Structures are given as C-alpha cells and as structure tokens.
C-alpha cells in the first residue's frame, strides 16, 4: 500500500478537522486530484478524528435493529486514505490567524500542529436540552457504539420482562420512548419496533401487545423532508403498528426513567432515545472562525469560510447558502454533505493551481426513509413511494451511496443472508462490562484468601 511522503519543506499542508462525511470525502477527492503531488510530498493532507473510521449514519437504525452488522456501517480511514496522514486525535483549539491547531492524541500530551489550509468538517453532536433526567437516562443514535448499545439495551429490556412477574417492572421495561420526528427518530423507532416484534416470537410471557412505543415530536408533523402528505401517511402507518405518535408534544422530565410529557401524560419507561436535533461540534467554538447565531461556521457558496483566507467548511458544522432557495441554507443531511465535499475538494485544488472557484448549487433529489423490513416512504425526484417500493428504493439508494466497494459488498451480503435466515435477537449486554465475570472471580479469590488467613490465625 502506498504511503504518504514526509513532504518537501514548504509544501502546502491541508488540515482536515473531522473524518466523517465531509472530512473523508474531501480527503478522497484531494487524494484523487493530487495523487502525484501527494506521492512526491509536494502537498500534505492530514485528517484528524477521534475515530479511525467514518460512520455511514443512514445505516445506524438498521445496525441497531440487527439488519446490518455494525462493522459494515463504518469505513476505515487509513485503508481508504493511504496517501493522507490519518491521526486518531481530537482538535481542541484552532487559531487560524496564526495557522495552528492544538491536537489531543488518544494518549499523551496535546500537540500543536501548523497548517496552510484548513477544512472544518467536524460535523455535529446531539443537541441536549436542559430537561431533568435526560442526560442520565437518554441515548442518541449518532454513532455505531450507540447503535450497538441501543440494540443490546432494548433486547435486555425484553429479557427483563420475560423473567419477572412484577407488573411494574414489566411495564417499565416494555415501554420505549423516542423523541424527535425527523429521519433519525422515525427510522429508529420503526426499526426497533420491528425488531422487538420479531424477538417476542421466541418468548412465552412477552407478546407484541405488551410493547408500548411512543414517538414524541414538538412540531405538528413528522418527516418534514418527505412532504406533509407523506409525513401524515407515515404517522398513520406507525400508529397502525401500535406506536403512539404524539405531535405538538414536549418531553418535560425523565428523572428516574419516569417520563413526563407536555400533554399531561406520565409513565415509567426503560428506554429513552433522543433524536431531537443536533448542534455543531464544540470545536467550532474553540476557533477564531466566524460563527452565525446558531453556532455554525459562516460559509460562502464556494465553501470557503466567510471573510477568511485559507479556510474551508461544509456539512453539519457549516451554514452553507442554498443557491436554489433565496435566504435559505442547505439542510444538514448526507445528500448535501456528499456533494459539498466533492466540490470542496475540487475548489481546494483550483485554489492551489490559481484557478477560479465554483459555487455550490444543488437541487434536492428527494428523501428516503426505512420503516422496518419491507416498509418505507420516499419522494425521489418528486415521485411519491410508499411501503415495499419505497423500502426497495431506500436500500438501493443507500446501498449505492455507502463508501467503498468493500462496504457495498458486505452490506449486500448482510441483506442477502437476511432473505434466507431469521434475524438474530440476542442481547450481548455483557460487551459493555466485559470484565464483570473476571472481577467477580477475582473478588471470590480474595475472599477465599482472607478466609484462609483467618483460619490459620485462629
């Protein structure tokens, strides 16, 4: 495998903050367009991200439901970007005026690295509101680790209900609350409900009628991206599956797992999933780059940072003007992030070669959402699809868009095997406490040793 050259002294250094959609795809574009320069060390590209992989987030609900292996929704950065320097670290401070950034490695002291150009692609983190009990009891679905945890946690709740006769414990364990009616929230509740329904087939005491699912949305509709009619149809479909869709409703408290909603309802729940919006990664505030009133980096239509030389941005952490709609900004979704990153890479190359930059203009291609196995909703290019056709289009689109041929084939293999074999519904909760048995055994050994010493002393 080719490796990045050490670089010629004075060679332009491009620092990419974040290895998600924008970060990885921008680096891929630079790797393609500057292949010879990177090999000769005439240009250097460094990608900094705490993880060694990029996560294809549209597949997280399916990973949480067990339709796709979690390993297949992530793309290894080092293997994908052999001509770039990939550093597993977190950028904690940026001084663009002096062209340096502070990087905190996974181990050891922080380091200061210099650069000539910077790409802010740090993405977004969940927007957590100051709701009592939310931070202690909630979980999001932004990372592959959260998808694995959510799957194990939900299946463990079913096991709790199956193994007890205490009605209060059963009711709490079998109540699942999802907050947020956007893509992440709707796909998550639909996939998890589908999985739990499958899991109850192998249980004696838990039936689908015992499951209580709630989808809580503050606005008056869900899935606004697919349009009002399709959003209304989706809500009706979810309600038909026994999911209580509460619109114009807010979560007010979750202390001790006791859910209180603004419509006056209150009940205990063993699972609380929070998908009610995102905010830019904290690193953008630790920089001297201009921000808008929502904490996003101000971007131009050329994907440069407004009023700043040598800085570029796109994706969730950026306010990119939407040239197709006056006064609007591009929504923070995968469709825009992918296309922005390609143009961003091209514009950096143009800047290096003294050429004029091109503006980002993109018409919305529509939206697709999976609602469990063989169920979905979509409006590609203005066409309205529901049920099985929408589910097929959802899988086809994302199967094509997931990065690298390797991951495409692995995801396809997962889907193909699912046609012939039943879904696994086993909780591997011990993964989160892998040393529990070892520590228990060690504790027993200590007790036995102390008992032996006491006997000898007697």
Residue 284's pLDDT band (boundaries 50, 70, 90)? very high
Q: What is the pLDDT of residues 62-79, one digit of tens each?
A: 999 989 999 999 999 999
Rounded mean pLDDT of 148-177?
Answer: 94
Which range (200-204, 418-422, 431-435) has the least confidence? 431-435
Does the pLDDT at position 425 exceed 80?
no
* Cα 104 from Cα 213, distance rounded (Å): 41
Rounded mean pLDDT of 203-217?
Answer: 95
pLDDT, position 84: 96
Six-digit token pair at 302?
A: 């050329």
pTM given for the model: 0.87
Closest C-alpha to 184, from 97, 77, 59: 59
> Which one is predicted more confidently, 5 or 416?
416
pLDDT, position 1: 36
* Cα 16 from Cα 20, distance rounded (Å): 10
Rounded mean pLDDT of 313-334?
Answer: 86
| Long-range CB contact pairs, 4-10, < 8 A, 24+ | 4/38, 4/41, 4/44, 4/45, 4/82, 4/83, 4/84, 4/85, 5/38, 5/39, 5/40, 5/41, 6/41, 7/41, 7/42, 7/43, 7/44, 8/40, 8/41, 8/42
Rounded mean pLDDT of 397-409?
Answer: 89
pLDDT, position 455: 72
Does the pLDDT at position 4 exceed 50?
no
* Rounded to 5°, angle at Cα 239 from 236 and 242: 155
> Which one is predicted more confidently, 254 or 183?
254
Rounded mean pLDDT of 397-405?
Answer: 88
Rounded mean pLDDT of 14-35?
Answer: 94
Q: What is the pLDDT of residues 344-374, one digit of tens each?
A: 999 999 999 999 999 998 877 778 888 888 8
Residue 454's pLDDT band (boundaries 50, 70, 90)? confident
pLDDT, position 332: 78
Six-digit token pair at 27?
A: 């680096």
Ordered DSSP codes for 280-317: E-GGGTTSSS-B-TTSPEEB-TTSBBTT-SSEEE-GGG
* Cα 309 from Cα 35, distance rounded (Å): 24
Q: What is the pLDDT of residues 212-230, one digit of tens each?
A: 999 999 999 998 878 788 8
* Cα 222 from Cα 233, distance rounded (Å): 10
pLDDT, position 3: 39
Rounded mean pLDDT of 84-101?
Answer: 95
Residue 114: what are its φ and ψ, rounded to 5°?
-100, 155
Q: What is the pLDDT of residues 33-51, one digit of tens each?
A: 999 999 999 999 999 999 9
Coil/strand/helix, residue 46: strand
> How does the average pLDDT of the chain come out, rounded?
89
Question: Helix 387-401 to helix 405-420 angle, to the nearest 10 degrees?
Answer: 150
Q: What is the pLDDT of residues 104-138, one digit of tens each?
A: 999 999 999 999 999 999 988 888 899 999 999 99
Q: Which residues contact 287 (CB under 8 A, 6 or more apart)?
A: 93, 94, 95, 96, 120
């Amino acid at each position: 495998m080719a490796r990045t050259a050490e670089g010629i002294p004075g060679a332009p250094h491009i620092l990419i903050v974040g290895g998600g959609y924008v970060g990885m795809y921008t680096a891929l574009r630079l790797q393609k367009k500057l292949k010879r320069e990177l090999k000769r060390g005439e240009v250097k590209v460094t990608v900094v991200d705490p993880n060694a992989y990029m996560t294809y987030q549209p597949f997280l609900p399916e990973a949480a439901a067990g339709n796709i292996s979690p390993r297949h929704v992530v793309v290894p950065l080092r293997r994908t970007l052999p001509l770039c320097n990939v550093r597993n670290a977190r950028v904690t401070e940026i001084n663009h005026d002096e062209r340096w950034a502070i990087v905190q490695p996974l181990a050891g002291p922080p380091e200061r690295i210099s650069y000539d150009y910077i790409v802010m692609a740090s993405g977004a983190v969940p927007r957590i509101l100051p709701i009592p009990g939310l931070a202690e009891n909630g979980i999001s679905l932004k990372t592959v680790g959260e998808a694995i945890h959510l799957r194990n946690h939900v299946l463990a709740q079913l096991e709790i209900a199956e193994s007890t006769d205490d009605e209060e414990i059963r009711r709490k364990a079998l109540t699942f609350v999802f907050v947020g009616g956007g893509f992440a929230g709707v796909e998550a509740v639909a996939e998890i409900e589908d999985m739990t329904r499958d899991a109850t087939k192998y249980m004696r005491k838990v039936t689908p009628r015992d499951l209580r699912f709630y989808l809580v949305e503050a606005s008056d509709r869900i899935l606004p991206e697919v349009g009002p009619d399709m959003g209304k149809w989706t809500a009706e479909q979810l309600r038909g599956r026994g999911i209580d869709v509460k619109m114009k409703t807010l979560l007010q408290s979750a202390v001790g797992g006791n859910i209180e909603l603004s419509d006056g309802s209150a009940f205990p729940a063993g699972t609380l999933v929070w998908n009610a919006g995102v905010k830019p990664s904290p690193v953008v505030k630790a920089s001297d780059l201009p921000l808008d009133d929502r904490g996003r980096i101000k971007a131009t239509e050329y994907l440069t940072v407004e009023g700043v030389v040598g800085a570029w941005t796109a994706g969730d952490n950026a306010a990119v003007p939407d040239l197709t709609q006056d006064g609007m900004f591009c929504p923070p979704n995968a469709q825009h992030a992918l296309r922005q990153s390609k143009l961003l890479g091209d514009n950096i190359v143009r800047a290096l070669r003294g050429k004029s930059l091109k503006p980002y203009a993109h018409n919305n291609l529509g939206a697709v959402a999976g609602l469990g196995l063989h169920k979905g909703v979509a409006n590609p290019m203005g066409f309205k699809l529901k049920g099985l056709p929408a589910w097929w289009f959802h899988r086809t689109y994302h199967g094509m868009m997931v990065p690298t041929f390797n991951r495409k084939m692995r995801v396809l293999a997962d889907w193909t095997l699912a046609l012939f074999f039943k879904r696994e519904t086993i909780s591997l909760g011990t993964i989160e406490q892998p040393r529990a048995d070892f520590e228990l055994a060690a504790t027993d050994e200590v007790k036995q040793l102390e008992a032996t010493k006491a006997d000898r002393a007697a």
